[in-house]
């Protein structure tokens, strides 16, 4: 179905080779997972399948790519639209209509599909992706996760034989992600659809993959093989694989089910050992909201929310897409007008603070980090950030170097990957060192290494007395980072407590290690590794 014949690609004549000697055949009905670090070329590989690379992006491609016998060098993206469906990283970039139902029908209209068939497929897709309650909603009013599901549905309604998805679950809550991946699994096994998918959250998707393509960066050919073989030696791997390496399991389990079957001796070994947790010292309240109501024309986003946040806390907001997480963050920065109730940041109403004052009290990295980026180069962006924050020259650039050292000064921010743009936006916010920092889906588009760097930065900020509030669907990040979890549902707080209490009591929000070692209350591989090291030292004493 898809053939790469010694394909290499670079964006400029003297630039690095982004794809190097990619040589593989992908069969009909195969599920292929593309993995690699942020900026390693995953989106470039996906874009080459339908001809966007190089017809739209420009660049220099050697070798040949054939889709169902059609060479992409001779067929432009529009000529492949009947067989290849593409879901990009940014859903907004793909929308062309105003409402959910119209967007689901648009591709079929372009392909000239009969109206009665269109109607049936729209209804099927609404049910399949849990969008039936949103069918008449304007796209601009949807949450990030809801937009992601619409973008996936708009491609699926055309029934392509090849489905290409770039980080399709990055903005989805765990339940919605499972629904989408289960739908893709059915398409592969029941209808013979070929799926090529790039994803950083391997813990969600690796169990569905037939093969893995691991990209290692510029000028390096990819590794291609079955998931267990590729992940066994890879530094980028889900927590269950790192747990298996820590305890020496062989063969390597890559699913929760297989790991649980091997875990009983480990559970016995850890019996009586208390997992270490970070304790937040007693501190003052930096932010609070009382009886807060946020109402939009189409929906009641928050309903009488009471919440206090202390200095040094790392609070994870979790819940389904559309539960009110982003609205809560927008209320904290004064970007949402309360219909009732009030918000206080260090004794101030955030709506009363001017721009310079606001950034020194609270910073927000939004779901769309590009909203904060305006300059033509990374260097200019960092310089403007230092000026706006009143920070010493070079402050923002130093933070960028720590978070993403691969980002160059001369690069246009819009040419960065989704994850790199997020890190640049985060650096801009951190330059002002506000006491309260809000992050909306901060790990979207980030690989495991970059996420670890982010975790270290945020932990250091919290240890220095900053309060961190992050809205996230990333249960592994929550397990590693958060000291407290607040779960929202339909605009209301339904759970508020310590990370270990909330996550281990919820199958939906439990990390992989917790699922493998349940009913014990372990959350991370680092906790297990530390406990095993301590246990070994005690045995030898």
Is residue 491 over pLDDT 90?
yes
- What is the pLDDT averaged over residues 2-18? 93
User: Do the domain assignments include residue 175?
Assistant: yes
Shared domain for 203 and 293, answered yes or no, is no
**% helix / strand / coil in the chain, to the nearest 5?**
40, 20, 35
Region 191-215: mean pLDDT is: 91
**Same domain, residue pair 332 and 468:** yes
Range of lowest pLDDT (106-110, 165-169, 534-538): 534-538
Rounded distance between C-alpha atoms, residue 541 and residue 536, angstroms: 9
Q: Are residues 490 and 389 in the same domain?
A: yes
Instruction: Give the tokens for residue 232.
Output: 């066994």
Q: Which of 148-162, 443-457, 515-529 has the highest mean pLDDT?
A: 515-529
Closest CA to 364 of 497, 467, 473: 467
Considering the domain architecture, whether residues 399 and 476 belong to the same structural domain is answered as yes
Question: pLDDT tier at 534 (50, 70, 90 boundaries)?
Answer: low
423 and 504 both lie in a single domain: yes
Tell me the pLDDT band of 339, cut-offs 50, 70 and 90: very high
The verdict on residue 456 lying in a domain is: yes
Each residue's pLDDT tens digit, 420-455: 888 899 899 989 989 999 999 888 777 788 788 888
Please compute the mean of the pLDDT values over residues 345-371 and round it to a whole number. Answer: 87
pLDDT surpasses 90 at 527: yes
Is the alpha carbon torsion for 430, 432, 435, 438 positive or negative?
negative
Residue 144: band (very low, low, confident or very high) from pLDDT cuts 50, 70, 90: confident
CA pair distance 466, 311, nearest whole angstrom: 5
Q: How far apart are CA 138 and CA 101, in angstroms?
A: 9
* pLDDT mean over 314-329: 92
**pLDDT greater than 80 at residue 143:** no
Domain span at residue 364 reads 285-527
Interior/surface letters 460-495, b for 16+ CB within 10 angstroms, e for the rest: ebbeeebbbbbbbbbbbbbbbbbbbbbbbeebebeb
Is the confidence at residue 540, as pLDDT, over 70? no
> Is the pLDDT confidence value at 267 over 60?
yes
Q: CA-CA-CA-CA torsion for 469, 332, 422, 150, nearest 10 degrees?
A: 100
Using one digit for the tens of pLDDT, what is the confidence trace for 399-408?
Answer: 999 888 889 9
Q: How many domains does the chain have?
A: 2
Mean pLDDT, range 489-501, rounded to an integer: 95
Tell whether 537 is covered by a domain: no
Residues 461 and 319 in one domain: yes
Residue 377 lies in a domain: yes
Residues 380 and 515 placed together within one structural domain of the fold: yes
Residues 487 and 383 in one domain: yes
122 vs 457, higher pLDDT? 122
Residue 303 located in a structural domain:
yes
Please report whether residue 121 resides in a domain. Answer: no
Higher pLDDT, 372 or 513: 513
- Name, in order, each residue with C-beta under 8 angstroms of 58's C-beta and a sequence gap of 6 or more: 11
Structure tokens at 1: 């179905």
Q: What is the pLDDT, as a whole number, of residue 485?
A: 97
pLDDT(112) > 60: yes
Which whole number is the average pLDDT over 361-385? Answer: 90
The verdict on 57 and 203 lying in the same domain is yes
pLDDT-based confidence at residue 478 (cuts at 50, 70, 90): very high
Question: 225: which strand partners?
Answer: 212
Checking if the pLDDT of 538 tops 60, the result is no
Among residues 206, 226, 246, which one ends one of the domains?
A: 226
DSSP calls for 371-404? GG--SSSHHHHHHHHHHHHTPPTTHHHHHHHHH-
Q: How confident is the model at residue 120 (pLDDT cuts 50, 70, 90)?
A: very high
User: Is the same domain home to 302 and 384?
Assistant: yes
Please state, for a pLDDT cut of 70, what percent of the chain lies above it: 98
pLDDT top residue among 491 and 414:
491
User: pTM for the full model?
Assistant: 0.84
Do the domain assignments include residue 234? no
Of 149 and 411, the one with more pLDDT: 411
Mean pLDDT of the residues in the chain: 89
State whether 194 and 51 are in the same domain.
yes
- On the question of pLDDT at 537 being above 60, the answer is no
Asked whether 458 and 477 are in contact (CB, 8 A), the reply is no
331 token code pair: 């209320």
User: Residue 221 maps to which CATH number?
Assistant: 3.40.50.300
DSSP structure class, residue 369:
G
Of 277, 279, 302, 280, which is closest to residue 292 (Cα–Cα)?
302
Among residues 200, 226, 252, the one where a domain terminates is 226
Averaged pLDDT for residues 74-85:
89
| Structural domain includes residue 148 | no
Residue that finishes a domain, picked among 191, 226, 261 = 226
Same domain, 514 and 435: yes
């Amino acid at each position: 179905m898809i053939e790469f014949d010694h394909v290499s690609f670079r964006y400029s004549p003297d630039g690095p080779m982004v794809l190097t000697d990619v040589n593989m055949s992908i069969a009909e009905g195969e599920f292929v997972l593309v993995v690699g670090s942020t900026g390693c070329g995953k989106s470039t590989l996906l874009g080459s399948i339908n001809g966007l690379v190089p017809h739209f992006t420009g660049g220099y491609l050697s070798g040949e790519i054939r889709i169902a016998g059609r060479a992409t060098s001779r067929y432009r993206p529009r000529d492949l639209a009947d067989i290849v469906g593409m879901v990009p990283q940014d859903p907004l970039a793909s929308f062309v209509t105003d409402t959910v139902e119209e967007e689901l029908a648009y591709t079929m209209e372009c392909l000239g599909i009969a109206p009665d068939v269109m109607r049936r497929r729209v209804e099927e897709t609404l049910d399949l992706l849990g969008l039936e309650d949103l069918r008449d909603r304007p796209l601009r009013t949807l949450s990030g996760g809801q937009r992601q599901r619409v973008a996936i549905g708009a491609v699926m309604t055309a029934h392509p034989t090849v489905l290409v998805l770039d980080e399709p679950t990055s903005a989805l809550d765990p339940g919605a992600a499972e629904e989408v991946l289960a739908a893709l699994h059915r398409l592969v096994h029941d209808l013979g659809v070929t799926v090529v998918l790039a994803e950083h959250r391997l813990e969600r998707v690796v169990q569905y993959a037939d093969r893995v393509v691991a990209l290692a960066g510029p000028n390096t050919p990819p590794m291609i093989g079955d998931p267990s073989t590729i992940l066994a030696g890879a530094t980028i791997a889900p927590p269950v694989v790192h747990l298996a390496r820590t305890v020496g399991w062989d063969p390597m389990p890559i699913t929760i089910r297989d790991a649980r079957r091997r875990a009983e001796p480990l559970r016995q070994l850890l019996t009586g050992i208390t997992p270490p947790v970070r304790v937040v010292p007693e501190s003052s309240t930096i932010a609070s909201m009382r009886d807060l109501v946020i109402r939009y024309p189409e929906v009641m986003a928050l309903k009488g929310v009471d919440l206090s946040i202390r200095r040094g806390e790392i609070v994870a907001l979790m819940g389904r897409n559309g539960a009110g997480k982003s609205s809560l963050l927008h209320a904290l920065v004064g970007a949402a007008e309360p219909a009732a109730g009030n918000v206080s940041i260090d004794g101030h109403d955030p709506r009363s603070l001017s721009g310079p004052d606001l950034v020194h009290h609270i910073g927000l990295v939004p779901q769309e980090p590009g909203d904060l980026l305006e300059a033509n180069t990374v260097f200019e962006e960092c310089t403007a950030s230092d000026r706006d924050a009143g920070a010493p020259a070079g402050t923002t650039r130093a933070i960028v170097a720590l978070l993403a050292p691969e980002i160059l000064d001369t690069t246009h921010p819009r040419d960065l990957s989704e994850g790199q743009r997020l890190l640049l936006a985060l650096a801009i916010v951190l330059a002002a060192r506000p006491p309260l920092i809000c992050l909306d889906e901060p790990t979207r588009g980030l690989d495991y290494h970059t996420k670890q760097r982010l975790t270290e930065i945020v932990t250091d900020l919290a240890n220095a007395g900053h309060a961190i509030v992050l809205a996230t669907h990333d249960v592994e990040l929550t397990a590693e980072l958060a000291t407290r979890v607040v779960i929202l549902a339909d605009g209301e707080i339904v759970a508020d407590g310590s990370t270990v209490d909330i996550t281990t009591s919820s199958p939906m929000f439990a990390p992989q290690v917790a699922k493998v070692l349940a009913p014990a209350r372990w959350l991370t591989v680092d906790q297990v590794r530390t406990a095993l090291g301590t246990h070994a030292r005690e045995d030898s004493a």
